Structure 1
Amino acid sequence: MSWTDERVELLKKLWNQGLSASQIAAELAGGITRNAVIGKVHRLGLSGRAKAPAPQQARPRKAPTRAPSHPMSHTHSAPVVRGNLAVAPKAMPMAAPIMELAPTPMTDVVIPMSERVTIMELRESMCRWPHGDPTSEDFRFCGAKSPTGTPYCNFHSQVAYQPSMDRRRAAARAGGMR
């Protein structure tokens, strides 16, 4: 296979007409492959070319097919969506299970309003336990003294960090299981 002047001129002409590299290779024949055409186009610096004429009428798109539902599948599952343009289904909020905390001597602790602080007043040694709705102006943090290296005061640490056995017991009581 060699690139004769006639073949190069035909390549340029076909490339500028908008033919694909595969189509050009078929026209040139004589052992010239699609990759050989692409390589020669790059070596010749042929980059800008006419677009291939668009078909008169666009092909109708196929209707998306749904995957058959398995009889054992959940009836409330989201439809199967594939492709890089797929949009994730919106998450539906679910009510969190209410768990009763084991009564402790510290459950009666009330944080005085004078100790509660805004985000601007919050310092490293203060408890970061949130109080109220973050979108309201009354939103504050606990602000009580917290031990060095911990984000919460002693009371809120007990609420935040419960031993796993206590959580299981509380969940069992709330769910009626044992």
Structure 2
Amino acid sequence: MNWTDERVELLRKLWSEGLSASQIAAQLGGVSRNAVIGKVHRLKLSSRGRATAAPARQKKATTTQVTTATKTVSRPVTTTRTVTASIGATALQAQFEVEPVVRQYIRPVDNVVVPISRRLQLVQLNERTCKWPNGDPLSEDFSFCGNEAGESGPYCGYHSKVAFQPASERRRSR
């Protein structure tokens, strides 16, 4: 199939009207969709049919109530709603709304005392100190908890409860 000047002009006209490559191929006859796409690229015609810049994300605050063993905790949850729109002759014009994910905030039933960190450096740690990291490892003030670790692991009692959750609680929180 040869691309004559008339066929190229018709291609430009149909492309600017927003027809898809398949529709243009059907109107031209004797040419495939891929041939139309290739010619459009070689002619460097404007690419239309791209999604527009998504509108600014809208945030609205809601309040969620979570009931634990002894307390009900209300926490604000920020939801984001994104709607995408398309321009041109696209096969599918998608519009999505993102539903907020409900997060559970589990409060412990008994009072928990968070130990004060001893802020030890790596060279100060031994087999009896808690190795829970505090802060960003790349920053100057990075340190480790350093409190007395139990014989069962590398962390103190508090950090062991944070690091190692029973399997039943992990399944429940999903």
User: TM over 0.5: same fold?
Assistant: no
Per the normalisation by structure 1, the TM-score is 0.39
Between structure 1 and structure 2, the one with the greater Rg is 1
